[in-house]
Amino acid sequence: MSRKYPITKSFLFAISGLKSALIREPNFRIHTIAAILALSAAYFLNFNLLEWLILAITIFLVITFELLNTVLESLVNLISPELSLEAKMAKDVSAAAVLVSAVFSVIVGAILFLPKIIHLL
């Protein structure tokens, strides 16, 4: 199977997807702002390499689930514009995956940030 586009064009499509998600998806913006705040706090709290790695993996996990949720919701809306229990379940379970990853990120954030914040006090 040959490529229709050069690899650089593929990266531009991916960047366009990120821009679309930022513009059209309020939850993606919320997760992005939370990620920026967490990264800024980690910088000021002098995270070590392992802490940075754990934080980065956690952020990318939530962002990835949010992007996949957006894809699934868009596909369901396209394929099944009418209301159906199956479409609702697909969208709800996809949103639940984002929720689980977000709750996980809060737990990881508490483990990473609270000891450093308490040490400052």
Q: Is 46 left (phi over 0), alpha (psi -120 to 50) or beta?
A: left
Of 25, 66, 73, 82, which one is the catalytic site residue? 66
Three-state SS annotation for 22-71: HHHCHHHHHHHHHHHHHHHHHHHCCCCHHHHHHHHHHHHHHHHHHHHHHH
Sign of CA dihedral 81, 84, 88, 89: negative
Told to judge if 66 belongs to the known catalytic residues of this protein, a careful annotator would answer yes
Joined together, the tokens standing for residue 60 give 């990318």
**Alpha-carbon distance 58 to 63, whole Å?**
9
Residues identified as active-site:
66
